[in-house]
Structure 1
């Protein structure tokens, strides 16, 4: 931890902040907290966490209270679809998204749109409405699925067509306005 903090501080002049990502970086939540505390003591750098929000509520709360922002992945709004995609329920994820929102640190929610799975207008509407109800500041980033480098059962899934991406982007924009962003790139 000390080596990482020293390296970051040596390069602070080139940085606005630090983002922890992964895999799933919150598996190392205690480490992130230690680094965040040291950086807050010695610099003005922000600390963000890129996470799926599947972390014990108490630990997630502590993390949110000690960082500047959360960038969260939400695979699906529908609980059955979420379990199909990830193998776990999404109740804890929604609880943690609410916590991050209440603490003012939920910067963005990202959804990768996978053809034939979560690329339905109703799914995108539900996600956008959920974000709208959380607060007035969280962004929604829509990401078209690309099968490059995918090793799971999705390796044979097609890339999301450009027309479908823009159709779903419009669905979300009708609900969240300028809080929706993303670009189509394959």
Structure 2
């Protein structure tokens, strides 16, 4: 089965070639299935890169998939929001590129991360990459996700993922919808599912002055993360405007243009709230 993802897939619709079923363990094509058909599994890829320290432990091969159901006000890669902005690429090509760096990656204690955009908008393609990164290349694997489409992650896919980088953008529901244009509950449901599976999670929280920095909002995220039992780290990420030029180039309004970055004191205060719930905050 060839999975050709050349246009946006509506949220709520199954990915091309995927059977419906929220947590089905039989719906995810893996390397043996792809080999049996002699046809490549393909997806929309924005880019790939090597990074250290920001996409999981060690040096990592990061694949950025195109397309995202959220419209975050502070997105620093708005050029990944639309699936059509990516390049149709086979899993074979991605694996071949990652293979060039595996010796170096393993020596650093790193691995492979699939980010975006939102990887779970293309669950078949992402699942194939995770399976091959883990079993063919022997790499530690990480999923960078908002969790909004967590129901698209099959149990088979999650078995091939060692770490989930879960963005919880706000606890206050109205703020969450203002930031993302989506609802928070699917992310919380996915977080509970990961906890039930004992899957390691790093929570990511972007601190935006005047938007997400209310102590009660941070307290809500911290209490929830601390209750799960599988969150080994929280990344408190200071808001920045490094992506503003991309918004302007795309003729999209960047509504946070006048919002300052948080001060070191504000970041430290947010970290203390997470630490009060027994979490490691960095």
If the length of structure 2 is used for normalisation, what is the TM-score? Answer: 0.59
How far apart, in 2, do the equivalents of 1:97 and 1:104 lie?
10
| Residue 98 (structure 2) aligns with | 8
Alignment of 1:84-103 (within 5 A): 84-103=178-197
Query: Are the counterparts in 1 of residues 143 and 164 from structure 2 also a CA contact under 8 Å?
Result: yes
In the alignment, is residue 82 of structure 1 matched against residue 182 of structure 2? no
Deviation, structure 1 residue 43: 3.1
| Residue 256 (structure 2) aligns with | 154
Query: Are the counterparts in 2 of residues 68 and 105 from structure 1 also a CA contact under 8 Å?
Result: yes
3-state SS of paired residue (2:174): helix
User: Which runs of 5 or more residues in structure 2 are unaligned?
Assistant: 1-90, 248-253
Deviation, structure 1 residue 41: 3.1
Deviation, structure 1 residue 11: 2.4
How many residue pairs get aligned? The number is: 179
How far apart, in 2, do the equivalents of 1:166 and 1:38 lie?
39
Moved more, 145-154 or 95-104: 145-154
Whichever of the two has the greater Rg, that structure is: 2
- Distance 1:10-1:74 versus aligned 2 partners, 3 A rule: same
User: Which ranges of 4 or more aligned residues in structure 1 deviate by more than 4 Å?
Assistant: none
CA RMSD of aligned residues (A): 1.8
Alignment of 1:101-112 (within 5 A): 101-112=195-206
How far apart, in 2, do the equivalents of 1:136 and 1:10 lie?
33
| Residue 184 (structure 1) aligns with | none
3-state SS of paired residue (1:93): helix
Query: Are the counterparts in 1 of residues 142 and 164 from structure 2 also a CA contact under 8 Å?
Result: yes
| Residue 169 (structure 1) aligns with | 271
| Residue 120 (structure 1) aligns with | 214
Query: Are the counterparts in 2 of residues 147 and 156 from structure 1 also a CA contact under 8 Å?
Result: no
| Residue 281 (structure 2) aligns with | 180
3-state SS of paired residue (2:234): strand
Of 148, 161, 164 in structure 2, the residue corresponding to residue 70 of structure 1 is 164
Query: Are the counterparts in 2 of residues 131 and 138 from structure 1 also a CA contact under 8 Å?
Result: no
- Indicate the structure with greater helix content: 1
How far apart, in 1, do the equivalents of 2:231 and 2:237 lie?
19
